[in-house]
Structure 1
Amino acid sequence: MSSPSLRRHTRTILRLNPSPPRWPVAVKAAVAMAVPLSIGQLAGHLSLGLVASLGVFTILYGATAPDRFRARVMALAALGLTGAVALGAMTAGHPVVTVAVLVVVAMLAAFVCVALKVGPPGSYFFVLVLGVGNLAVTHGAAPWSVVALTAAGAVSAWVIGMADLLVAPHRAEERATEAAEGAIRAFAAGVPQDPADPAPDPADPAQDPDPDPGKDDDGDLEALRANASGALHRAWTAVTDGGRPPRLVERLERAQLIYAAAISRLAGARLGVEPRPWGSVDDEAADHDVRSGEQEPLVDAAVDAEQLRDTALGRPGAGYLLREAARWPSEVLLMVLRVGLATTFAGLVAHVLHQGHVYWAVCFAALVLHQGGTREVQTVRGVHRTLGTLVGLLIFAGLLALDPQGWWLVVVVAGMQLVVELLVTRNYALAVVVITPLALTIGMASAPGESVSSVVADRLVDTLVGVACALLVLWATGRRAPEIVLRAHARRVVVATERVMVDLAAGALETRDALDHRRNLYYELLESDVVARRALADSRDAVGPYHRMERSLAALGYLVLGACWHPDIRRAHEAFDRARGPLERIMADPVTTPRPAEAIERDVREVEELVLSLR
């Protein structure tokens, strides 16, 4: 890590980052934590309420997602957390088996959460509750009671997590739709109106002398397109996840008409085909804001729904995402392998050191790596976890000195949960300061009679062991991975593009498979830029030559999508059939076999030339 980067990340330790409002999530999490604790206190068994709080982490999954998707994600999280506790209970008394199960769960949960874009808190809590359940049964708790209490906490958290939808059932979808409308208007306004003034080729270095993805290019057409594409993807995902409310679907379809027209105009401009494919426009009738319920000048007021072709560019199917993530090489599999190695080493080291809480070391190793990202980001996450834990242990010692009991303990635990959720997106190190005493309070309830000093010492040692093992694995493995991962994702873009071109060549654009192919291509194009940025950050020298290749593929992918939406270009079946040849050559070479970026880009350019022969 360079000195400027080190200084920049040092400043982040105490700086609060911008974040969407967290009060609704924080309040729900605090209430969900307080409910089982209050019931336990009223029943005279507060420790049972603390065990039930293991299921309360259900409320953190999909906390701001649309209703139907949130209900499914939280239900699956509840089942996963309860199942993890059951595994921990079954392996109690068998330390080596417990470590093996912890490692398997850490890898499997990380794979599923990252492949399906579940988002924070990811796989961490599945490993954590497995360890706590194992510890509770080891210290004499009945396995069935630990599992039942966890399930009860999960059910109550699910109910509380869904409660806010009674007041604002479609808030998430409305916000996503508004963001998409704004981004699409900006993109459409930046598309050249004159056929003689074609849009710049994003892969042409003459038009982009500094192809640095970190530069400030908000006004650039490519950046506007990326913003609009991402916003449209998120909006369709939110609206689809929310059950496709008719009012929002109608607004989003109008916005997508503008997006599709702009993309097809770009394709038409590059191909020399009339770039206003939507017919003539009555400006006086159409010159209105998208959000007012009318159409903008870019879209013909008489355009029919067939030209939109029902392409809701939202989330691809779970099967597709899991299959693609499981193809080696991929970023997801690299992350999973690192999680497996780090958690295995951490568990073995903690076991050799005779630590009483081996699962902590495994959890912290998984926590550093389970969401992936650049080496720098994951290293900073580990440093924040270590520093936050050190300060959190001091706070825990102070909390023990105060010795809150009964209702005071209920208030303290629920209050800590509230603070954690307010801080976790603003400053991870500060959030860990509160997470540490919260986790230790719940953990000690699961293992009554443990020495406080040994618990604190174990927590410190296990944190250092887990983070050290994670960082060792992170920096010792995958030195060539950034280049291979970028090329592997480029292959996914090639495959997705080729499938759409097969549909174009066959003139079969209305089938359900064709719609899925366009949705998958759109998703891979959005992911391509993210993967390229991370790869460049990890290995600029090795990845640099492949960056222009990635941009060329992205330009080709959007050209092919634009052709699908252009009423004239999409009928050039023979041209698209001929253009598949160079793509098949690219796919003939294994990704793991080194191939110069120039050779791959040459094949991509040949495809473009064959498509451009439509002129």
Structure 2
Amino acid sequence: MSLRGAFTVRRPPRGRGRLAWVSALAMGIPLIAGQLTGRLDLGLTATLGAVTAIYYPRSSWRYRARALPVVAVGSAAAGAVGAMAGGNPWRTAVAVAAVAFVATALFAALLAPPPGAVPIVVACAVATQFPPGAANIGTRAGLTLAGAAFAYFLTMICARRDQAGPSRHAVAEALEALATLAGTWGTKRTEMARHDAEREVRRAEVIVARDRPGGPLAAIAARLRRVFTRIVDYATLTGRPPPASVPGRLRDYAAGVLSGRYDPARRSWALGWGRAPPAQPGAVGEVALATAWAGAAARANVLVDHLDTSGHPRRRAWVSALTTRVGQLAHHDRPVADRGQERTSWAWHRLAVTIADLACPTGVRAVAPIIAPTRDLLADGLRLRSPAWPWATRCGVATAAAALFAIAAGIDRPYWAPVAAATVLEVRTARVAGQRTLQHAAGTVLGALATFALLTVPFPVWSLIVVAMVLQAAIELLGPANGGFGALLVMPLTMLVAQVSGPGESAEALVVSRFVDTLLGLVVGLVASLVLWPRVAARRLPDALADCVGATGVLLANLLTEARTGSTPPALRPVLTSERLPRRTGQDHRRARRDRRRGAARHHVEARLEWLSEMHVEADNEPGETARATWPTVVAARRLGYVVLLEPLGLRDALPATAASPDGIRLLFGQLAAGIRGDGPAPPREPAQLPPFPPLRREFAALVDSAPSSDSAPSPDTHDLGRSGTSGAWRE
């Protein structure tokens, strides 16, 4: 456990201020309505549904419109379960544990972002403490659902003023990740920078596909993957990172996207009138640099990228011939220096024109990514070997134990013990759970002192409601920066709500009960993370590796099938502009089906790469050395996956010369996956079935060498990953 990590303060994500005030209004307005009607207890019940406002803050407007009602129903159901179990200690413990188990399993299976299952557990635990005579169970569930519906409509109305906001933030973050990739190539951060860039590009494509913005913003999103490919191509062909102007130019685009420069229809959310001001160019936007980029783009337009427009058949034929000529630069009668210079010039022209034309609204066709349906996510996330089951079981057992310990200790309001235990277990691994425990313990101690001072002053009810709203806004704003801030602010908030719902109680008794309750739950949660299934991710890391290798083999087999049937890869096909859209034919429909299959296989590889990285991060925070021992295998699997995902020209040219059939490729990668799992021997380092493409063969050999079941000694040239910036030292 790192003490430094426990007290690190991070910058809150963009757009957190709006979420904070929406959350405060979603909680405060039901309290105000309850006070005005003389039924403050009913207003307090409705606030249990206010948690709906804090879910999926970075997702698209349309996705939130579909996902938040499910969260609303879940919070209402949790409140109803808690209301039915109230009054009996054993029923309370079982109810909170059941809600924690189900919510943790579902959120883990759906790969949902924070806050996860904790607010749902809060709704259930608080509902167990309502007095029996306040209202019947049906009325409480209806009030919770009404509060959730109010939070939903408030969230949607506030977000509708700027529907393209999630797209802008996602595209800007993808551009920042691409700039980091270009700036760190050849260093020890290369491997993670490449993976982060691929992940952010994929996320931007999904959010833009759901938001469907138009104009230059959509054009930038459609070209993100091409920029990623051009950066990797340049570094691969030249053996050095792109010029220093590339990261600066990409960050200039990112600043313009955030300011609304490429989204003219954007309205100011604060005023509701006018357009966003244009971004001021930074140091990378000086006249000399802009002139250099314009010149590079002009030369590159003559060379390559008019593949992106229909028409110009002679130019496309000339570019194709030039591509073949450049691919033959290794001819023995060419000087080595000239060959390297032409390769560098060719790669730079391709990269320069792609970035220079990034915001051009024509000449690009946005291809919608494959987005897995919810039922497929659930089926995959709830499979027998999924880590969701041990995570959910651990959270259920810990919350039940915390509730029973608090009840046995005679605490008047024992519902915060299971909530504190669920908060610790939200992070899933022992190291981060220890950091979370320290954060919340320190925040609780400071919050108890602040609460005692606050409750000694006899505030009127209206003042308490206003202070509670301000505290709720501060929690949502500062909570992501450090968990200690959230614990410090939650303490007075809960005490104020308790004082509003039950006036006349002793402030000292409330604070002491809440303090002991929380510390007990933190201790139980920490012990559970250390004792119950502490190596969940480490034991499933071989499965994640094998799944990633198998998905890569399926994609390579699909590419081989296309190469032998004569279908043209999308990268060599002219992209249609919005001005010329010919009528679709039967061949177009068959091509669309092939593209769909290719997209599904690509999505499968991307998803497996993302899951592999997540499992490795989780395993790195668990006890033992599994993550460190498997890091070379993780690096090799990711590098192999990216080689096939990028579909470089050399790979496409080598596919027709492949000795094996598509089924043979699947069997070869299946054998390697079985070797990684330990279910059989690994294949040879240099199998004859692979396409004669040196980078692919090199990465395959590196993966075989690093596989746990491999008996061969690692080759110095394939395991010297430090030269390409992917050594194990990166993790330090």
TM bucket (normalised to shorter chain) is: 0.7 to 0.9
Question: Aligned equivalents of 2:213 and 2:160: distance in 1?
Answer: 17
Question: Aligned equivalents of 1:558 and 1:287: distance in 2?
Answer: 20
Out of 306, 312, 318, the position equivalent to 2:369 is 312
The residue type equivalent to 1:399 in the other structure is L
Could you tell me which residue of structure 2 aligns to residue 203 of structure 1?
none
Residues 108/351 of structure 1: CA separation in 2 closer, same or farther (3 Å cut) = same
Could you tell me which residue of structure 1 aligns to residue 380 of structure 2?
324
What secondary structure does 1:611 align onto? coil
Question: Aligned equivalents of 1:139 and 1:513: distance in 2?
Answer: 59
* CA deviation vs aligned residue, 1:525-581 (integer Å, no higher than 9, x gap): 133233223323434633333211111211221222233986545666745432322
Moved more, 501-510 or 363-372: 501-510
Tell me, yes or no, if structure 1 residue 104 matches structure 2 residue 102: no
The residue type equivalent to 1:549 in the other structure is T
Question: Where do 1:63-462 residues align within 5 Å?
Answer: 63-138=57-132, 140-184=134-178, 187=181, 217-218=188-189, 220=190, 222-243=191-212, 245=214, 248-260=217-229, 279=320, 286=353, 289-293=356-360, 310=367, 312=369, 315-372=371-428, 374-443=429-498, 445=500, 452-462=507-517
Tell me, yes or no, if structure 1 residue 34 matches structure 2 residue 28: yes
Greater Rg over alpha carbons, structure: 2
Question: Aligned equivalents of 2:551 and 2:476: distance in 1?
Answer: 39
Question: Aligned equivalents of 2:188 and 2:391: distance in 1?
Answer: 30
* CA deviation vs aligned residue, 1:16-51 (integer Å, no higher than 9, x gap): 646435322222222222322222233233343233
Could you tell me which residue of structure 2 aligns to residue 298 of structure 1?
none
Question: Where do 1:508-587 residues align within 5 Å?
Answer: 510=594, 512-539=596-623, 541-563=625-647, 568=653, 574=660, 576-587=662-673
Count of aligned pairs:
560
- CA shift, 1:59, in A, is 0.8
- CA shift, 1:382, in A, is 1.5
Residues 217/562 of structure 1: CA separation in 2 closer, same or farther (3 Å cut) = same
Question: Aligned equivalents of 2:134 and 2:528: distance in 1?
Answer: 36
Task: Report if aligned partners of 1:267, 1:562 keep a CA contact under 8 Å in 2.
Answer: no
Out of 501, 504, 510, the position equivalent to 2:559 is 504
The residue type equivalent to 1:57 in the other structure is V
Question: Aligned equivalents of 1:423 and 1:190: distance in 2?
Answer: 31
- CA shift, 1:413, in A, is 1.0
- CA shift, 1:317, in A, is 3.3
Residues 325/253 of structure 1: CA separation in 2 closer, same or farther (3 Å cut) = same
What secondary structure does 1:538 align onto? coil
- CA shift, 1:511, in A, is 5.6
Tell which has more relative contact order, 1 or 2 (C-alpha 8 A, sep 6+): 1
The residue type equivalent to 1:429 in the other structure is G
What secondary structure does 2:59 align onto? coil
- Amino-acid identity (%): 26
Task: Report if aligned partners of 2:430, 2:534 keep a CA contact under 8 Å in 1.
Answer: no
What secondary structure does 1:138 align onto? coil
Could you tell me which residue of structure 1 aligns to residue 14 of structure 2?
20
* CA deviation vs aligned residue, 1:424-450 (integer Å, no higher than 9, x gap): 112221221111121233345556776
Task: Report if aligned partners of 1:56, 1:157 keep a CA contact under 8 Å in 2.
Answer: yes
Residues 506/330 of structure 1: CA separation in 2 closer, same or farther (3 Å cut) = same
| Unpaired stretches in structure 1, ≥5 consecutive residues | 192-199, 201-215, 271-275, 296-300
What is the TM-score with the length of structure 1 in the denominator?
Answer: 0.80
Question: Aligned equivalents of 1:543 and 1:406: distance in 2?
Answer: 53
Question: Aligned equivalents of 2:184 and 2:121: distance in 1?
Answer: 48
Residues 371/539 of structure 1: CA separation in 2 closer, same or farther (3 Å cut) = closer
Moved more, 224-233 or 136-145: 136-145
Tell me, yes or no, if structure 1 residue 611 matches structure 2 residue 605: no
Question: Aligned equivalents of 2:413 and 2:510: distance in 1?
Answer: 8
Moved more, 460-469 or 76-85: 460-469
What is the TM-score with the length of structure 2 in the denominator?
Answer: 0.68
Residues 142/261 of structure 1: CA separation in 2 closer, same or farther (3 Å cut) = same
Residues 188/452 of structure 1: CA separation in 2 closer, same or farther (3 Å cut) = closer
Question: Aligned equivalents of 2:637 and 2:676: distance in 1?
Answer: 17
Output the aligned Cα RMSD: 3.6
Residues 612/166 of structure 1: CA separation in 2 closer, same or farther (3 Å cut) = same
- CA shift, 1:368, in A, is 0.6
Question: Aligned equivalents of 1:45 and 1:399: distance in 2?
Answer: 24
Question: Aligned equivalents of 1:358 and 1:406: distance in 2?
Answer: 25
Residues 527/132 of structure 1: CA separation in 2 closer, same or farther (3 Å cut) = same
Question: Aligned equivalents of 1:246 and 1:101: distance in 2?
Answer: 51
Question: Aligned equivalents of 2:113 and 2:183: distance in 1?
Answer: 33
Question: Aligned equivalents of 2:236 and 2:610: distance in 1?
Answer: 18
Could you tell me which residue of structure 2 aligns to residue 60 of structure 1?
54
Out of 530, 533, 536, the position equivalent to 1:475 is 530
Residues 19/590 of structure 1: CA separation in 2 closer, same or farther (3 Å cut) = closer
- CA shift, 1:128, in A, is 0.9
Task: Report if aligned partners of 2:220, 2:359 keep a CA contact under 8 Å in 1.
Answer: no
